[in-house]
Amino acid sequence: MTENLTTLLNFLPQLWEGVRVTIILTVVGSLGAVIIALALGLAMTSTHAWLRVPARIIVEFFRGTSLLVQLFWLFYVFPLLGVELDPMICGIGALALNYGAYSAEVVRSSITTVDKGQWEAAIALSLSPSRRMIRVIFPQAWALMIPSLATLLIQLLKGTAVVSFITLQDLTDKITQLRQSTNDTYFAFTVGLIIYFVIAWLIQEFMNFLERRATAALGRRRPNSRTDRREARRLARADAVRKDRSTSRAAADDGGGDGLGTGPESGPASGQGGRL
């Protein structure tokens, strides 16, 4: 085990290099995916068939074909057509197209989920179609789409592992190298799992932050949010205090007797309230 740790320590700079490649693929790939998703998703909500139909075809095509084959296409077929692409560009492109197509469907369905009355109110105020979308519909759709986008973003992170097939030395590639140098399969892949998990957790935290902001902008809170729980605790405490006071008053009203009748009841009740 100590040998493994020494190897890992020596291997850290290389491992970091792999993490860096994976993070670049994830961040740039997801930015590309979001841009593609917005363009295709909005086009799919259009009333014009010449926008809607091609967008739908593109989405179905990239959703329906394997990420790995798309990647190979960019990497192996494009050169045959006379276009040499950097492996990094191929990786980012394939991830952006594939996950962009999935996210486009999320964008489309979130926009159509926004209450019809919101569109109508915007029309009644004579807002132009672009202002309707930017100021009224999209901010509300955004709050709806974040949870699904978070899931897709984490899938994209895990999807980056396929780039090791096209010579890119990403985290997965480095982990296989670590396995060879330590000769310990169990150790190397466990390290791999942990690193992927940590990155995914950071992404989830970031998306949670975005969701909190988006729902707060709508004057709402996420179900069972921290603020909700805090408020519940505060109310419970206030309740307990009130109960304590009323019981002690009741005890005092009893004429300063032993007060045993109320004491045992109020004790546990207030304790529970405080702990909630």
Partner 1 sequence: MPLTEKTPATPATAGTPAIEFKDVEKSFGPTTVLKDLNFTVAPGERVTLIGPSGSGKTTILRLVMTLEDLTDGYIFVDGEPLTFEERDGKRVEMPKKRTREMTTRIGMVFQQFNLFPNMTVLENIIEAPVHVLGKSKAEASTEAKELLERVGLSEKADAHPTRLSGGQQQRVAIARALAMSPEILLLDEVTSALDPELVGDVLGVLRDIAETTDITMLLVTHEMQFARDVSHRVMMFDGGQVLEEGPPDQIFNNPSHERTKSFLSSVL
Binding site for partner 1 (CB under 8 A): 115, 117-118, 120-128, 131, 135-136, 139-140, 217-220
| Residue with smaller CB distance to partner 1, 143 or 199 | 143
Q: What SS3 state is found at 256?
A: coil
> How far apart (Å, rounded) are the C-alpha atoms in residues 162 and 100?
17
- Nearest to 248, CA basis, from 226, 222, 269: 269
| Residue with smaller CB distance to partner 1, 5 or 218 | 218
- Nearest to 151, CA basis, from 40, 33, 19: 33
What's the closest the beta carbon of residue 123 comes to partner 1, in angstroms?
6
Residue type, 114: V
What's the closest the beta carbon of residue 54 comes to partner 1, in angstroms?
22
Give, for 270, the enclosing helix (H) or strand (E): helix 263-275
- Tokens coding 208: 């949670």
| Residue with smaller CB distance to partner 1, 115 or 254 | 115
| Residue with smaller CB distance to partner 1, 113 or 183 | 113
| Residue with smaller CB distance to partner 1, 218 or 276 | 218
* Under 8 Å between Cβ of 61 and 126: no
What's the closest the beta carbon of residue 141 comes to partner 1, in angstroms?
10
| Residue with smaller CB distance to partner 1, 135 or 226 | 135
What's the closest the beta carbon of residue 50 comes to partner 1, in angstroms?
17
* Under 8 Å between Cβ of 182 and 3: yes
Length of the chain: 276
What's the closest the beta carbon of residue 105 comes to partner 1, in angstroms?
23
Residue 257 phi/psi, 5° resolution? -65, -165
Q: What SS3 state is found at 86?
A: coil
Q: Both ends of the chain: CA-CA distance in Å? A: 44
- Tokens coding 160: 């980056």
What's the closest the beta carbon of residue 144 comes to partner 1, in angstroms?
12
